Chain A
Amino acid sequence: MTEGSDRPLLEMIGISKSFGGVQALRDVDFSLRAGEIHGLVGENGAGKSTLMKIIAGVHHDFQGTMRLDSKEVHFRSARDALDAGVGMVHQELSIVPDLTVAENVFLGKQPVTSLGTVDWKRMVRESREHLAGLGIDVDPTTRIGALPIGLQQLIELARVLFSGARIIILDEPTSALSPPEVELLFTTLRSLRDSGRSLVFISHFLDDILRISDTVTIFRNGRKVSTTPVAEITKRQVIEQMIGVGHQELEESYTGEIKLDTQFDAPVVMETEGLTLGRSFRDVSLKVRAGEVLGIYGFMGCGQIELARALFGKIMASGAIKLDGKLIRLARTSKARDHGIAYVPESRRAMLFHHEPLYKNMSISILERISNILLKPASERQIARGHIETLHIRTPGPDQLLGNLSGGNQQKVALAKWLTHAPKVLILSEPTRGMDVGAKEDVVRIVRGLRDQGIGVVVVSTEPETVLSLADRILVMKRGEIVREFAGDTVSKDRLLEAA
């Protein structure tokens, strides 16, 4: 084993891959040793996911050579790769929420008795042993959907391991986890490494990458920039290599104290009193001032997403919501819209029409203002052209289908919908999730611009960086309640995490 650990377990030489004329990977070399955790970083579209999908057999049409144990291999499918010992845990978990833990662990290969029926006893026993081996203590007969997301992820990891994987690729495994869950995951990953398995860890969370990895490889624009032992590189250097130039605003949000620019005397536009919704959130009283960005931070599942939806009338909560001092009832989203409340949800798919042209996507929220009965496509296009210009949306024109735009540009379209007539309150749920650094900065700039117009902006996020880079005042939510306010002073990521 000691001799072998110098020779790479997996070697990829001169890998290139293009999608319909777009070069996703250019002549990339990559190697993975036995018993290491290898971090992969890069902006969206840098090529890291594409490379991993080649290793995992998802993409099989590429140029270059791949060697496993010094033997040349070419996987035709994910099944092929798994048979050879390469497994992948995708960001969107592929568990079946309504089945039990044991059924999920044994999905597709349930043990059978001599009669040909499922051997439940063996399934439960073996999955308990197997999970215990990973330090996971959970009743295998529990419905998996009832478990916290962190455990679900570990169980999916267990399933991949159970299939005999020696190389495991984890795509953004920490994005939905709370810090204790991350700790649990990391402990498990370290013990896997120590047992000789190789792990590839793809993430946008640089702190996580730097903490867990032995080696880090950085991608930019489809090329590999460097592969370095983690001990020899700092976060600043990683960021510099990832993006090429110094992006000050973003770096600041990572390191040290942030000064909150809280406006204490600005008028309150929106106010809630004792807002409560079942198990999601309780007794939430908050004020949103004109011309401020109010950040609401909390871990996944602390109720902040539901709170945002309730402020837009997507779900009805009990308690009082006041707008400009007047009590309002938000029975449905169209009421909220009529009151001048705008909302951009966390998922682009949930807020855009992919088959429809840009201008229809942008005009949908304001149709009632620009047309009584008959539509006015000319003015819709006119408005769309204005947004395309001011928000720097990269597209040939307003008739382009939305589905043809890149993710970051789609996000801008989602914002543009609400900007034709300035809302009083703009609620943004996870506005920068999954975005690359450049697109994040665009969002920061746009949001600040809106705030400066006097709009009350609410930013709800589970990413501390997002809240820190945008907010003028921060509320921290914990298990459905607001537990802390940061205002008028400085705040740091540590203290934010501590409060949550």
Chain B
Amino acid sequence: MNGPPTLLDWTGNLWDGFQVTVLVTVLGALLMFALSLVLGLMSRSEHIAVRGVARVVIEFFRGTSLLIQLFWLFFALPLLGIRLDPLFAGVLALGLNYGAYGAEVVRGSINAVPGPQWEAAVALNLSRWQRMRRVIWPQAVALMIPAMNNLFIQLLKSSPLLYAITVVDLLNRGEAFRFAGGNVAAIYITLLVIYFVLAYFFTFLFGVAEIRAKARLGQHEGLGSALRQLVGSRSLEHEGARR
């Protein structure tokens, strides 16, 4: 291959980077969800110690910057004798940082479930576990999906930072293209478009999840009706005529 590479030469590399970016994002998001749940529930605990621990962890990860946490895990931790794989360190930093934000979402959503729902569950003599599992949680989930979607997109948009700790993601492949003398405008615009499409794809998935969560609560007619609305206004006209 002579001369600077073209985007076509780079499709294989970009595909490899794309897979790493998606992997890191999905793993980071799974950790984020798990942590949000644990920290969110902990911060509602009756025990001041449990609540205190949750608050300190949440405020710590929200208050320091993601890049510092990333560098700390990657550069400083080895000095304490713990050496992490760059990809693992990246997933850990993303999950911890956004998990701390997610905990506030979980806590807020549970608190936002109307009081009478709690009272009704108590009146029906449900156990604490049943109350959470059967009454509160399903409603809280529907409330937290939009905010979780936002956090997920933030996480996706932060994932290129992992380039700074040598993870070979999309941005890393893009930088290799620049160093090889390729057209810089072309590669960065391509990268931006890829992230844009990814963000939209995941937002679509969260939208589906929200519809399903609401349908379970009887607040939405389900995916079928959403699709029909998308396809055209005809079904709406029918409904109007029925009314």
A and B assemble together: no
Q: Footprint of A on B, CB under 8 Å?
A: none
